[in-house]
Amino acid sequence: MNTAVHKFGGSSLSSAARYHAVANIIISHCQAGDSVVVSAAGKTTNTLVKLWLCYQQNDSQGTLDVIKLLKNHQVELISELLIDELQETALQKLNDELELIATLAQQQELVEAQLLAHGEVWSARLLAQYLTQLEHKANAFDARDLLLLSGGQLQHEKNQKSCQVLNSEQFNVVTGFIAKNESGETVTLGRNGSDYSATLIARYCNAQSVTIWTDTQGVYSTDPRKVKQAIKYAKVCREQANLLARLGNPVLHAKTLTPLKDTNIKLVVRSSFDSHSACTEIVKKGNAKQKHFLTTLDNHDLVKIEQLIEGEVGELSQLIQHTLHHFELDSETYLLIPAAYTHIVINHLSGRANLVESNLFGLGIVCPNDIAHQLTQQAAKILQKYNINIRFAFSQKDMPGNEYGLVLCEQAFDTDLLTILHEELISDSQELAVVVAGLGNVGATFITQLEKQLVRLNYLLPVKLVGLVRSENMLFCSDGIKIHNWLEQWQTSAIAYDNKSLIAALEQLDYEHKVVIDITASEDFSLLYPDFAAQDCHLISANKYAGTAHTTWYNALKEKLYERNLKWRYNTSVGAGLPINFALNDLQYSGDKIERLLGVFSGTLSWLCCEYDGSVPFSELLLKAKDMGYTEPDPREDLSGRDVQRKLLILARELGLTLDLDDISLTPMMPADLAQGDWLSFLEKRDKLDAFMSDKLIQAKKEDLVLRYVAELNLQQDKLVAKVALSAVKKDEPLAGLKAGDNIFVINSLWYQDNALVIQGPGAGQEVTAAGIHSDLYWLTHSLIK
């Protein structure tokens, strides 16, 4: 049977609400037979360690206080999650256990590992009971019945047998972090060790995959809680993940990868807070680019050790329950030890260890071949510039293909400094993958222009065209599509398109940044934007649908993009390449307040209104425009004004207004009943349209006015005016002086009150629209290197 192992860390189980979320993930992502490995809820292990310290210091009041703290937390979880008999039994059991802990403490009989194990026992039991209460078959297992160590070595054969008790008919909720030794005593696998428990159980059960569910969406270039610009990596190779862990990074425990050696068990890190977001897959060597990482170490001591014995680092880590980093430099061996445990290590090594430096803070740099030295020097320079005293800086080859650098300093660096280091050391390593959807006139022109534009973009950041998408086919080439013969590649290598395959192809892209450029006019395609965001793709749209979708959907999309630090540009969805979005944003950023926005936003209706002078019936002009390709296939789509209404909504939202399409009054440029029926039936009734337009023109001429199809947003009055309609305008107004086919935007603001700011020019056309999309792509690329 294909089983999977899912591990939920303390951060995923910190409250009743989180247990509930975890249960939902299990119900939706796991099958019966899967194992769910859990850590202690929230910071329970830290609290248990505190209890152990009080006990050791004979602080009986402190011991009782911490027991009370543990009790309150567990009682709260149980009371919020379980009901009736299940709750009663669980509370009783907890009470008995806490009483026993208190008694053992009083009798000086507490055992450290046995005490620490309670955290995992409580969370496994509670989660299994909660799943049972939700009517799913689940059972809690104590890993001490599954994982045996003898002489510090895991007993693989025995453990494999023991793991056969894991049942294929239910969810098996297993305690992480703990195991037992040959004397039946509890042993722990080291702080953060539940990741290791999960991969061990996966190996023993022959599972297909291990998912480490945590509170970040994967493995990032640095701690995303500290650096907003941290880059989430789609793939990280095992060697680099291991090195990162050995430098003390908490996202994966250092031993996690050991059980996966020589197996094809898939390992992913994903968020239990956002279970649909793209994750990080930890892959075998050669299946991912080498990445750049920064990791920090807090308050460590540097100790020189004589003649390190094989396996001793492991033993010492076990002794202090923390991963220890060791390295050799100038034929000396050094150990980096969390300062609180240095005395234990030095005592244990009785005379073979000397303290070299104490209370150091460190920056670890994990990077591709041959640049660790350069990056370490660069980091040291930056730190010195910020008055950080450096005690030690070196770089090392870890194993073939892996390098790292370590800078040890006297002071801790705050998140601002880490952000600067990230910007200076990591940014250069990034690449942007471009996927273009929609290969019509504008799409094809965009790609032709891209060949030249890449030279400019690559100056900022390496940019590669990796995907082309049409409604029925798609072409993905993760190393980059050769632009000069993309059509040939398309013809030989494009595969059938469907939404699922597109998302899977985006997920596979091993790039720091990805962008989907939507040059389709498809509403269905725009509905995939949240999925693109979940795959960490930036968005550039010429398509207007997402920008004018219902507020709830639109806001949820914006929120999702914001959370992931993703950008969305849609410069060409209004006015093709005209910089109207830039202008509105720029004015607002510089403190201006827009009071009125007026304009002609449709090239087709602009042409029709400018050309129509009554000398020929309006419908004749309309058919001419259709023949010249100026209109939609059914020109009534243009006359309906819906497209203009959408554009006005996009601009209104750019001004921060919360509007929906229905909030913009729309009067089409034709009698309402002409919208019904097919094109031929419309042609039969074209006289009606001619009479409608002729009336409007006669009336306008009488008042010495001209006709324009106008979109208006007026924020001056108490009540917002947002409307789209045919209007008669004065001949000396900017709207009147419009060139046939052009768009015009007239902006009145605090600074442009009487004399409006006017942007005018072609609002359609493949060259200018494609160039407008390039403007967005350039902006995005530039924003990524900042």
Ligand X SMILES: Nc1ncnc2c1ncn2[C@@H]1O[C@H](COP(=O)(O)OP(=O)(O)O)[C@@H](O)[C@H]1O
Among ligand X, ligand PHD, none, the one that 40 touches (CB under a kind-dependent 5 to 8 A) is ligand PHD
Residue labelled with tokens 């507020």: 551
Fill in the DSSP letter of residue 15. S
Give the total of residues touching ligand PHD (CB under 6 A).
12
Query: Taking CB under 6 A as the rule, does residue 9 contact ligand X?
Result: yes
Give the nearer residue to ligand PHD in terms of CB position, either 194 or 240. 194
Query: Taking CB under 6 A as the rule, does residue 223 contact ligand X?
Result: yes
Classify strands 537-541 and 513-518 as parallel, antiparallel or unpaired: parallel
Residue 55 backbone dihedrals phi, psi, to 5 degrees: -60, -45
Site string for ligand X, 251-280 (x = CB under 6 A): x-----------------------------
Annotated active-site residue 235? The verdict is no
Residue 473 CB, nearest distance to ligand X (Å)?
37
CA distance 375 to 7: 34
Query: Taking CB under 6 A as the rule, does residue 194 contact ligand PHD?
Result: yes
Give the total of residues touching ligand X (CB under 6 A).
20
Query: Taking CB under 6 A as the rule, does residue 599 contact ligand PHD?
Result: no
Per-position DSSP letters for 331-368, written without gaps between them: TEEEEEEEGGGHHHHHHHTTTSEEEEEEEEEEEEEEES
Query: Taking CB under 6 A as the rule, does residue 74 contact ligand PHD?
Result: no
Q: Which of 423, 106, 72, 365 is nearest to 240 (CA)?
A: 365
Give the nearer residue to ligand X in terms of CB position, either 39 or 429. 39
Binding window for ligand PHD (CB under 6 A); candidates: 185-193, 326-334, 553-561, 692-700: 185-193
145, 215, 423, 733: which one binds ligand X (CB under 6 A)? 215
Site string for ligand PHD, 21-60 (x = CB under 6 A): ------------------xx----x---------------
62, 250, 579, 671: which one binds ligand X (CB under 6 A)? 250
Give the nearer residue to ligand PHD in terms of CB position, either 191 or 270. 191
- Structure-block tokens of residue 745: 């935007």
Classify strands 138-141 and 402-409 as parallel, antiparallel or unpaired: unpaired
Among ligand X, ligand PHD, none, the one that 219 touches (CB under a kind-dependent 5 to 8 A) is ligand X
Dmax of the chain from CA atoms? 108
Site string for ligand PHD, 371-410 (x = CB under 6 A): ----------------------------------------
- Structure-block tokens of residue 552: 């709830």
Q: Which of 412, 423, 411 is nearest to 378 (CA)?
A: 423
CA distance 38 to 128: 10
Query: Taking CB under 6 A as the rule, does residue 192 contact ligand PHD?
Result: yes
52, 55, 177, 511: which one binds ligand PHD (CB under 6 A)? 177
216, 290, 526, 781: which one binds ligand X (CB under 6 A)? 216
Query: Taking CB under 6 A as the rule, does residue 191 contact ligand PHD?
Result: yes
Cα separation of the two ends of the chain: 49
Alpha carbon distances (Å) from 706 to 148, 476, 631, 710, 736: 89, 51, 22, 12, 6
Residue 215 CB, nearest distance to ligand X (Å)?
5
CA distance 337 to 342: 6
Query: Taking CB under 6 A as the rule, does residue 9 contact ligand PHD?
Result: yes
- Amino acid identity of residue 367, one-letter, is C
Alpha carbon distances (Å) from 255 to 249, 270, 317, 342, 467: 12, 19, 11, 22, 37
Among ligand PHD, ligand X, none, the one that 177 touches (CB under a kind-dependent 5 to 8 A) is ligand PHD
Give the nearer residue to ligand X in terms of CB position, either 192 or 743. 192
In sequence order, which residues have a C-beta less than 8 Å from that of residue 84 and are 6 or more positions away? none
Whether 771 and 449 have beta carbons less than 8 Å apart is answered as yes
Strands in 209-214's sheet, in edge-to-edge order, are 138-141, 171-175, 35-38, 4-8, 209-214, 266-271, 280-283, 235-237
Give the nearer residue to ligand PHD in terms of CB position, either 40 or 241. 40
Query: Taking CB under 6 A as the rule, does residue 438 contact ligand PHD?
Result: no
Give the nearer residue to ligand PHD in terms of CB position, either 119 or 668. 119
Fill in the DSSP letter of residue 221. S
Residue 113 CB, nearest distance to ligand X (Å)?
19
Which residues contribute to the site for ligand PHD (CB under 6 A)? 9-10, 39-40, 45, 119, 176-177, 191-194
Contact residues for ligand X, defined by CB under 6 A: 9-12, 39, 192, 214-216, 219-220, 222-225, 249-251, 293, 295
* Residues labelled catalytic: 647
